[in-house]
Amino acid sequence: MPQPIFFAHANGFPSATYGKLFAALAPDYSVQSLPQHGHDPRFPVDANWQSLVDELLYHLEQQPGPVWGVGHSLGGVLHLHAALRRPELYRGVVMLDSPVLTRADQWLLRAAKHLGLIDRITPAGRTLGRRAEFEDRLSARSYFASRSLFRHFDPDCLDAYVEHGLHEHQHALCLRFDPAIEISIYRNVPHLSPAPVQQLHLPLAMVRGQASTVVRRHHALAVRGMPKGEYHSVPGGHMFPLEHPEDTASLIKGLFDRWGQA
């Protein structure tokens, strides 16, 4: 029987975008996920992502047993906070270019929110006014391929984003992930944690893309201070799971194989 993984995506990237990663995890692992976080009206985006964590926990409670949690960016933080609240739902957690924040990070985020500067230190400012409609998928693919965020995507992952990240609406192709929700997620990035991360006794790995500007080297100190925390660095940037999906799958499988034998 394949072992269960529950995957949580990055902000703005529906889970189907990661299809090549999921396929590379099979047949040893089966992946469950939500199509899009933050779009269920029962769990609206709120301060410190508390309702987004509630949403994740709601779906984890429907699983037949504890899962391996894997999250990219937003998704990694959601899994960390969910595991701090309900560790019995997990076997372990892998955070793909998601930072384990230090107290200094949390203070900076809180101050930025209070001073109205949060759009400057998160991608919210760059998301405002972003192109959200396209004539057809060919022109959409050409547009995304020219953007720095997508420049190093695996071609299959870029195709998957064009296929699943857009939908037809009023005779146009529009972003499936509501831009207003995406911006709200950035603006409410947590400056609080449900509990000190040192209280988590599950195995947890934070994996940084070597060219990432999101996860910094000082975050390694935070994760290494956890009882079963690990820090790893791999080629690629913040989007490395979609730049190197098969290598990412190999890393994840290696971690879970080792943890499962411990």
Model's pTM, two decimal places? 0.96
**Any idea which residue has 């009206």 for tokens?**
41
The string of pLDDT tens digits covering residues 108-123 is 999 999 999 999 989 8
In this prediction, residue 45 carries a pLDDT of: 97
Q: Where are the domains of the chain?
A: 3-261
Question: What gap in Å lies between CA 210 and CA 223, rounded to an integer?
Answer: 17
CATH code for residues 3-261: 3.40.50.1820
Asked if the model's pLDDT at residue 19 lies above 90, the reply is yes
Burial class (CB within 10 angstroms; exposed 0-12, middle 13-18, buried 19+) of 42: exposed
Q: Residue 181: what pLDDT?
A: 96
- Is residue 255 over pLDDT 80? yes
The one-letter amino acid code at 202 reads: L
pLDDT score of 130: 79
pLDDT, one tens digit per residue, over 133-189 is 999 999 999 999 999 999 999 999 999 999 999 999 877 899 999 999 999 999 999
